[in-house]
C-alpha cells in the first residue's frame, strides 16, 4: 500500500469522524428546529414562560424583571423595585431587584447604604444597611456577612446612577421560618413596606 493511499484513507476517515461529531452536536442542541433535548431550566428554580436573569454586554447579570413584588419610593426620583424574595435550601433568603432612576438628573448613591458597621464599611460600597423585619416572629434580619466580614449583597457598584438608568442588586439574609410569608423591608432613603416571600 502506497503512502499516498494511506494519507487519503486517513483524510477520509477524519472527515467521516468530523461529520459524525457535528451531526451528534446538532442533535444534542436541538438542530435547526430548536426542539432538541437541551438543558432543562426548571431545575434552577425557573418556571415556564418566566424571564430568566440575563447577562448583558457589559458583563452584569440582571434579575428577572417580569415580576414586581413592591416598589419603594426614594428621593429625587429614585425607586427601589423588588422583583423576588426567594428562600433556598441552604437556609437563606435572597432579595433581588433594581434601583431605577426615574428623575431627570444623575443620582449619587449615599454612604448610608453601606450601613453603620465600620468593618463592613471598609469593604467598600454595599447594601449592608438593608434589613428585613418579621413582625409575626418579632425578629429583624440583617444582610449576611462572609468570613471576611464582606456583606453578601451587591458591592462595588458605580457611585452614580444616571437618569433613566437602573442598578440591579441582590441581598442575602437568614431565612425566616416557613410560616412567615411576608416581611417588612427597610432601606435608607426609601419608604418602608412589605414584600412576599416565595
State the pLDDT confidence band at 66, using cuts at 50, 70 and 90: confident
List C-alpha distances in Å: 79 to 48, 141, 157. 28, 22, 17
Is pTM beyond 0.75? Reply is no
Instruction: Give the Cα separation of 149 and 161 in Å (integer).
Output: 26
Whether residue 151 is predicted with pLDDT greater than 70 in this model: the reply is yes
Which residue blocks in 38-190 are alpha helix, DSSP H? 118-121
Please give the mean pLDDT across all residues of the chain.
77
Amino acid at each position: 500500500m502506497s503512502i499516498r493511499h494511506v494519507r487519503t484513507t486517513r483524510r477520509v476517515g477524519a472527515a467521516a469522524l468530523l461529520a459524525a461529531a457535528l451531526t451528534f452536536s446538532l442533535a444534542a442542541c436541538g438542530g435547526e428546529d430548536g426542539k432538541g433535548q437541551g438543558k432543562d431550566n426548571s431545575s434552577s428554580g425557573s418556571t415556564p414562560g418566566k424571564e430568566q436573569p440575563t447577562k448583558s454586554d457589559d458583563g452584569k447579570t440582571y434579575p428577572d424583571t417580569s415580576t414586581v413584588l413592591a416598589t419603594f419610593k426614594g428621593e429625587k426620583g429614585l425607586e427601589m423595585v423588588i422583583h423576588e424574595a426567594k428562600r433556598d435550601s441552604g437556609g437563606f433568603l435572597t432579595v433581588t431587584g433594581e434601583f431605577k432612576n426615574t428623575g431627570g438628573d444623575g443620582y449619587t448613591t449615599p454612604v448610608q447604604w453601606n450601613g453603620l458597621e465600620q468593618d463592613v464599611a471598609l469593604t467598600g460600597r454595599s447594601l449592608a444597611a438593608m434589613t428585613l423585619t418579621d413582625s409575626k416572629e418579632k425578629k429583624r434580619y440583617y444582610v449576611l456577612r462572609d468570613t471576611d466580614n464582606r456583606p453578601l449583597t451587591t458591592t462595588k457598584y458605580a457611585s452614580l446612577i444616571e437618569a433613566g438608568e437602573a442598578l440591579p442588586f441582590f441581598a442575602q439574609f437568614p431565612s425566616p421560618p416557613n410560616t412567615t410569608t411576608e416581611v417588612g423591608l427597610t432601606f435608607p432613603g426609601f419608604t418602608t413596606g412589605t414584600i412576599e416571600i416565595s
